[in-house]
Each structure stands twice: as C-alpha cells, then as structure tokens.
Structure 1
Amino acid sequence: MASVAEMDIDIPADLGFRATLDRTLVHRSAVSEVFVTDLRPVSETDVVAAAQLPLNHGYFSDHGRSPAVFDVLLLLEAGRQAAIAGTHAHMGARAGTQMIVDRFAIDTDPAALLCGDRPGELVIDNRFTVVRRRRDRVRAGRVEQVFRVDGVRAGTHTMDVLFLTPGEYEAVRHAQLGGPAPLTSGQTAAPTGVEPRTVGRTNPLNVVLGAPVVRDGALTAEVRPRWDNPSLFDHPYDHLPAAVLTEAARQLALAVPVPGGSGTPGARRVTGVRAGFTGFAELTSPVLASTPADGAATGERRVRFEQDGARIADTTLTVTDTSRLGTEETPR
C-alpha cells in the first residue's frame, strides 16, 4: 500500500463545495463550525472529501500576521471532520461512537496556504485502515490524508483513533474519576491576563494559557482556555480536548523568547505538529504545558503536558519563519 506521501487518488469531477455536510456527521453543534462540503468513497479503502476554508473566522483567522495564510489547525480540523464523517460512512462506525485520538501528525506548506480573495477549496484524499477489530466492530483505526488547496498540494496528515461505544466510554471515565466527570459547560474562569500578541493571537478569547514562567530551565504555563470560546468548545466535553492542548502547545512555542531579542511571534508560524496522548486532560486539576526556555527561534520544538505529576501528552511542533511569504521568492 502506498504511503501517505505517495497517495494519488482520482478526484471526482463533480466534487461539491456548495453546502456543508450534516453537522452531526462531523460531531459539531454549530453549522458555522462545519467545513466539509462533500464526501465520496472511491474504493474499498479510499474516500475523497471537499471542504471550504473561510477567509475570516473568529478562531482560525485570529493571528495578526501578514500575509494571511490558512491556519495549520484549520486544516487539522477539516481533516478531523473528514475522518469522522468517512469513518461513519466507510468503516461502519455507529452513531454515538466515541472517537478518541491516540496520536496524529500534520505537516503543511505555508506557501501553498496563502489566502487569496475567495475562500479556499480544500480537497482531502483519505485512506482508511482498520488497525484492530473485535467481533463485528472496529476498535482502532488509522486515516492517512493528503491536502490540496485550490489544486496545489498543501500538506499531509495521519491520525490514529480508538473507538468506544457510549457505554464503554462512560464506564472508562467513571472508573478513572470515581464518579461522573464534570463538563466544560459548567466551568467558569477569569481571563488569563496574557497579552494575546505574545502567544501569536489578537483576540483575548483565543488565548488558552496562563502567564508563562521560567522554572528549572523550562518555560511553563497552565492551560487555561476561555470556556466561552465557541470554536474550541462547540459542545460540552468532560476533559480538555486534543484541539485545546494543540493550541496550548502552539501558543507556548511562540511565547519562547527569540534569541537576541529579534523577531516577533508574527514572523513565525507553526506549520507542523506531531502529538501523542497518554491520558485525558481532566477538568479537576491544573494541566501544565512546558518547553525548553531557550533554543532556536525556528525548527522543531517539543511541548510536554503534565497533570498531577503524570505526563498526559507530548507534542513536537515545527516553527517556520514566514516573513518572506508573499514575495516573489514564494509564489502561490
């Protein structure tokens, strides 16, 4: 079987971008948070999806950088939605199935993601693999994806997922917590007080970290999202979802002081992420993110997440200097 880098799936000529899929197929509550517009099985293992990338979105467009580029986490979310819808349609996942992200890796080319004067048309090649099956149910699976924006190859994504029935999920969470899990919809917190531009944001609503501090050679911050952020918390969760931890990792990576004091978060972007999750980020105690307090301004940067002294997630981010994007050296 070809690797994700070699995938070349025939694209249906009538793949549509006119309207989004039913929001329930991608596990979203708000229609405005649905990006996938079409889904077509083309073989026993392959599915092609279409998605529209918005030019102006309260969360995904809030970066204060010029020129504007479609966010790597927007592609990650579109890929997640395509994977969920494809899993229901192609792998037989039943309604209500809980899909737990075990690990993922995304890599993008920012030059291929420069925004134009229209929303981006994203085509996602999906290849689904059953990793583990028990009786008649898929218990673990993998999806490999290739992204093309307006016909230009823009990146790749792989994701490994575990599948639980609602009853199994509730039993696992009850056993872990010794009782019902609290929900994000019941949480309250004051604004973090972090200056948004120091973490690559402009709107305080999108800041997900408390004030970073340097301790034992590491830059550390508590993960403290705004619970009223309608994109990160489109519906209630009983833990901090992977999307919040990924955003926290990005913000901490951009908060690391640039050697020599030159440069700003606006000149650097996260263009790739690898992440693995070993536990739930519970709502019952602080989750801490940490990364080395020094190092290069660009390249790979590791961010670790811990809760109650135990590691729950590891991420490695690719930070790229995009100050020359949009010049003649980086044509679309």
Structure 2
Amino acid sequence: MHFVPPLALPPEPRSLQDPWNGLRFDHPVPRETVHKYEASEVLLTDAARLEEERFAVGAAWHRDHFLDDQGGRTSDPVLLAETARQAAIHLSHRFHEVPYGHHFVLGELSVELTAPLPAPGTAPLVLGLDTRCLRTDRHPRRTRLELDAEVHSRAGRLGRARVRWEVLEPRRYALLRKRGTADACAAPAPEPARAVPLSPSRVGQRRDRDVLISADPARPERWWLRLDLDHPVLFDHPSDHIPGMALLAAFRQVALATTADRSRYIRSMVTRFTSFGELDLPVSVTAERVGDADGTGREVELLLRAEQGSHELASARVISALPCADRRLAGATC
C-alpha cells in the first residue's frame, strides 16, 4: 500500500481551493466503484458533491504505471484519460444511483492539456478534478451521462478531460452485443500479413507485452492491434469486447510512432467510440496527417481510425506539440 501525502492545493485560482478541503488522498476508493479488480489499478482517492451537478474528485498517480510515459519527465495523457473514466464510473454509482451490474458503454473520452503533464516522483502526484457530471438523457432502461473536468495539481491547472457514456441494464446490453457480434462475423477482417511488432522504446514502453501495435510492411500508414488477453492492466477483469482504453492506448502509441519525435507531447486527444470490437478478430489502425494544427509547424494533427473488417471501432484526433522553451510565452507566440 502506498502512502499519499495530503494534496498541496494550487494557489490559483483561489476559488478552487475549498472544493478539495476534506478529501482524502491517502487511500484509493473501493475498487468495485471504478470497475477494477486490483486495488493497485484504482487511481481515485475520494469524491464529494459540491453542487447538484458539480463534484470535487481526488486522484493519485504512482510511478511505473503501464499507462504512464516511461521516459520519467512527463506523464502520459492516457493516464489522465483513465482517471477521467474512473471518475465517470465512480460518480455514476455513488451520486447518480446507477446500479452495480449495469454496463457502461463509452461514447467519447478526451483530454486537452495546457502543458506536458508532470510525472510522479518518489512521492505520488496528487490531482484535483473540478468536475461537472450530469445526465443528458433519461430512459427506464438506459441513461446517457457526460463528465467535464478541469484538472489541477499543486503546480496549477493542467487541462481538461471529457467523458460521454451510456449505461445499459444487462438484458439490453446482451441484445446489443449479440447484434454487434453477428455484424462483425458477417464481415470478417483480413488477416494481417507479416506484421512486425515495434520495439518498446519506439512507443514509450519498457516491456514487450506493453507494445500494443505492429507495423504493416506493405502500408507504412497502417498498424495492427496486438492484444494480450492476460495483460494485468488492460484486462484487469474479464471483458467480452476490446476495452476502450486498449484502443485509446494504441492510438497514443501509433501517434508516437508516426511522429517519431519524443520531444513532443500530446496536447489534445479526442477519441470517439462507435462499435464494439471482437476479441478474436484483427483490428487495423490507420494514421493520416491532416496538417499543422496551428500553422507554425510546432503542432501536428493526426486522424487515427481503428477498424475491424468494414466496421469502424473508434477514431481519434491527436494534436502533438513541442513544449515552449520559455514558459513565460503564451498564446499564439508559444
């Protein structure tokens, strides 16, 4: 068990100091409240309602997590995305009365950063999320919700995270999955030919099992998803489909391999999920450079698509940026 020191609240803006007073940062929330089997995979530490749809959420990041960048200088934005995903699940159960046993179906998971994320040191990196979480549609058997959070550390505001999801009761989910499986089998995906796994260092990892993509020698803009169904993080608990976080983490690795510039950081990553992915069929990921996001060459925008046969599973727009050499620069000059 790790000890997490109390949150050092950001000095600005002052109005955000009070929401995190009284929250705990020394112990994770119960693992079942974020749909994790291992307590070590729980990133949240506490949450409290501030207003009808506004919540304060505490989180703590530790070193050497699979979803974290292994370079040691910054944290991976995928770790922030997972934190937001866990916050969406936790708030749904705790404050929106969503029953356990219902299924959460991701629609969107996005992060937007103001600067590279700081990395945990010998002590955990503690975060505060000023969060709005609300229902956008009500139905006797299904509920749509969305979460929008400003993310802060002791250094100040880090950026924003957004999650959109739908909750389905078990019977409706089973019908949806049955139809999706039939559609996937009707249009089987082509087998990858001579796909070559990338080295861990090329995608910011240290272990072979954490590499989620293979290169396609015939098409340099295409990659193939590598799934390890025994992966202790991505498959922390059994799943009947490809987890959304596996696709998002694969998108991150493709973006890193495509730009081939480790000095860049992910400034924005907007991921939308459209179909369930079957575990036993290949998934291709294509990367298209759609231009310079700011017209200066400092930012590169990629459009990524994950497909299984004729079905698109997810897409992402990823903007990578060079960090400012002078942190006093801002806006268009940065």
- Output aligned runs, 1:17-56, within 5 Å: 17-56=25-64
Q: Identity over aligned residues, as a percent?
A: 26
Give the match for residue 202 of structure 2: 198
CA contact (8 A) 1:41 1:47 kept: yes
Cα RMSD, aligned residues only:
2.7
Q: CA deviation at 1:90?
A: 1.5
5+ residue gaps in structure 1?
1-5, 182-190, 259-263
**Paired letter, 1:173:** R
Give the match for residue 269 of structure 1: 265
- Cα deviations by residue, 1:143-193 (Å, 9 ceiling, x for unpaired): 1111111251111011111110122211221233249x9xxxxxxxxx963
CA contact (8 A) 2:19 2:56 kept: yes
Asked whether 1:99 is paired with 2:118, we answer no
CA contact (8 A) 1:299 1:319 kept: yes
Give the match for residue 320 of structure 1: 321
Separation in 2, partners of 1:157, 1:200 = 22
CA contact (8 A) 1:98 1:169 kept: yes
Give the match for residue 222 of structure 1: 224
CA contact (8 A) 1:83 1:126 kept: no
- Cα deviations by residue, 1:44-78 (Å, 9 ceiling, x for unpaired): 11111101111232x03353x25x21221111111
Separation in 1, partners of 2:171, 2:230 = 28
Give the match for residue 246 of structure 1: 248
Q: CA deviation at 1:214?
A: 5.3
Give the match for residue 176 of structure 2: 172
With normalisation by structure 1, the TM-score equals 0.82
Q: Size of the alignment, in residue pairs?
A: 300
Separation in 2, partners of 1:200, 1:30 = 24
Q: CA deviation at 1:116?
A: 4.3
CA contact (8 A) 1:254 1:265 kept: yes
Note closer, same or farther for the CA distance 1:207–1:238 as it changes in structure 2 (3 Å cut). same
CA contact (8 A) 2:289 2:300 kept: no
5+ residue gaps in structure 2?
1-12, 186-194, 330-334
Q: CA deviation at 1:99?
A: 0.9
With normalisation by structure 2, the TM-score equals 0.81
Note closer, same or farther for the CA distance 1:12–1:295 as it changes in structure 2 (3 Å cut). closer
- SS state of the match for residue 267, structure 1? coil
Give the match for residue 153 of structure 1: 157
- SS state of the match for residue 210, structure 1? strand
- SS state of the match for residue 228, structure 1? coil
